[in-house]
Structure 1
C-alpha cells in the first residue's frame, strides 16, 4: 500500500510541474536551494511519513529486507557495496556508454540536479528522523560489514543515494530518450543497492523516487536552466 501511495505521489509530482506557473524562489541562506521552490518541497508535502518505529508495517519492511539480502548473489552484494561509494552522476556511465565527466556541459547540469536533491534529502532526513534498519536489527550487515559508525542512525528517510539516482536519472533520460530505458533501470538498480546494503528500507528509496522525480521535472522545466539543458542536449547528441 505504501509503495502505491509513493508511486501516486510521483505521478502527482509530474502533474504539479505542468500546473505551477509562479516563478521559483531565489536561493536564500535558509534553504540553500538555487532553483527549486522550498514551499513546494516541504518534507511532508510530497511523501507520506515513514512507518512508525515498532509498527507492524516496519516489521514487514524489515522482514522483506532480510529476504532480499538472503536471496542476493555475492556479485549483487559486491555491486551494492560499490554503489555505496559511487555518489556522482558517473553512476550512469555504463548505461549511456560514455564517461559523463568528459562532457562538461552535461556534467554541469547533472551536478546541479544532484546539488538540489542533496538539499531536499538533508531536509527530509532531519524532518522525518527515521532510524536505519541495521540500527533496529543488529543482525543486518551494512554492505557486508557490521558497523555502528558509517552512517548516522536516524537519517534513513529519504535515501540520499536513491535521490541522486532517480533525480539525475530522470533528467538524463529526458536528454537521451533512446537510452531512457537503460538509464531508468540503472536508477532503480542503484536505489535497490541501498536495500541490499541494509542501509535503507524500501519506503526510504521509494520516497526518494517520488521527490527526485518531482525535483528533476521541475528543474527540467525551469527557464533559468534552459541554456544548461540545451548545451547538455547538444553535447549528448554528438555521441
Structure 2
C-alpha cells in the first residue's frame, strides 16, 4: 500500500480559475495518478475476493443495514450522524453549495478513472456475493466512487470543522469500508478512492476562488454550531 500513501500526497502542477461550471481536473488526470488495479485472476485479486467472501459470513445484519444505507447516501449528509442535527443542508445554503462543487469535481474525476480502468465489479466474477445493489455498470469497480466522494467531502469538512476532524475522517473510513460490506468493491478500489478523493479536495482547497466559498461556508457552519 506504500504507493497509495505516496500518491495521496501528490498535487497537480497547475490549478485553473474556479467556476461552478468548470472542472479543475483534466480528463486524463486520474488515469495518470492511479496505478492499475489487480487484474482478474491475479493472486491479489483472489485475496481481495476472499476478503469479501469472509465479510459475507461475518457481517451482522445491523452492519449490513448500515452499509446499505450508506450505499443510498451520496451526499455530505452522510456525516450528519456524527456531527449532530444542526448539520442540516436545508439550513446551510452556503455549505450546501460548497459541497455541490466538491461533488461535481470528485464525480467527474471518479468517472474518468472508472472509464479508463474498466475493472469488473466483484459480483461479475462471483455472482453469489450478496450485494447492496447491482445497478452500476459491470466495469466500474476502480476506483470506488463512494470512497472518492467520502474522502473528498471529509477532507474539506475536516478543514471547515478542525475540532471534529478526527471523527470526520473516521466516518469517511467507515463509509468507504461499507463498500466491501456491500460486496460491490474490492479493497484496492476503496484505497484508490481515498487517494483520488484526497487529491481532489486538496486541489480545491488550494484554489483562491474556492477559498472564498470555503470561508463563507465556514462562517455559516460556525454560527450554526454555536446555536
Assess same fold via TM > 0.5: yes
CA RMSD of the aligned region, Å?
1.9
Equivalent position SS for 2:38: coil
Mark the runs of 5 or more structure 2 residues left unpaired by the alignment.
Answer: none
The aligned counterpart of 1:9 is 7
Match of 1:38 among 26, 42, 50: 26
1:76-113 deviation per Cα after TM superposition (whole angstroms, max 9, x unaligned): 10000111111111101112223331211111111110
Mark the runs of 5 or more structure 1 residues left unpaired by the alignment.
Answer: none
The aligned counterpart of 1:210 is 195
CA distance in 2, matches of 1:203, 1:224: 33
Equivalent position SS for 1:53: coil
1:131-210 → structure 2 map (5 Å cutoff): 131-143=120-132, 149-210=134-195
CA distance in 2, matches of 1:228, 1:44: 28
CA distance in 1, matches of 2:4, 2:80: 28
2:102 counterpart of 1:110: no
CA distance in 1, matches of 2:73, 2:40: 30
2:9 counterpart of 1:24: no
CA distance in 2, matches of 1:231, 1:100: 16
CA distance in 1, matches of 2:102, 2:162: 18
**Pair 1:81–1:55, CA change in 2 (3 A):** same
Contact 1:33 1:116 in 2 (8 A): no
The aligned counterpart of 1:99 is 87
The aligned counterpart of 2:61 is 74
CA distance in 2, matches of 1:68, 1:181: 26
CA distance in 1, matches of 2:67, 2:146: 11
Q: 1:5 deviation in Å?
A: 1.9
Contact 1:95 1:179 in 2 (8 A): no
Contact 1:89 1:100 in 2 (8 A): no
Which of structure 1's runs of 4+ aligned residues deviate more than 4 A?
none
CA distance in 2, matches of 1:208, 1:33: 23
1:35-55 deviation per Cα after TM superposition (whole angstroms, max 9, x unaligned): 42317x623322110001111
CA distance in 2, matches of 1:23, 1:192: 31
2:117 counterpart of 1:128: yes
- Using the size of structure 1 for normalisation, the TM-score is 0.87
